[in-house]
Amino acid sequence: MITIYTVSSCTSCKKAKTWLNAHQLTYKEQNLGKEGITKEELLDILTKTENGVASIVSSKNRYAKSLGVDIEDLSVNEVIDLIMEMPRILKSPILVDDKRLQVGYKEDDIRAFLPRAVRNVENAEARLRAAL
């Protein structure tokens, strides 16, 4: 099952949910502003990142700026505690399942959540259209 971590005002979150619905993929939405995130969920996400905390925390958003600290100067445990206190410092949306993680909405990348058989059919159809 796909879990999508969202923020209410996020247009990329809305696009990701629209895409998931259009492709009839079931998902569980978790609003970071209302429901927060658990330490276990954060650790699961971090194990799937390429660049650790830098992959999921937005140091440019207003919530992170309001903290007045450089997140890169903090230990991983301190960052986890900080995220749990203020989950809106996370980039959004974050989509995760048993194997995959996507941060932000990129239509080419979100396709990884499609079952392989569906991706293969769509890719074959696209190649056929391109050949015509």
Q: Which of 10, 82, 89, 110 is catalytic?
A: 10
Distance of CA 105 to the CA centre of its chain: 8
Phi-psi region of 112 (alpha: psi -120 to 50; beta: other; left: phi over 0): alpha
Examine the residue annotation and report whether 10 is marked as an active-site residue of this protein: yes
Start-to-end Cα distance in the chain? 37
Q: Which of 69, 92, 93 is nearest to 81 (CA)?
A: 69
User: What is the distance between the alpha carbons of residues 98 and 27, in angstroms, rounded to a whole number?
Assistant: 12
Rounded-to-10 torsion of CA 20, 107, 46, 35: -40
Positions marked catalytic:
10
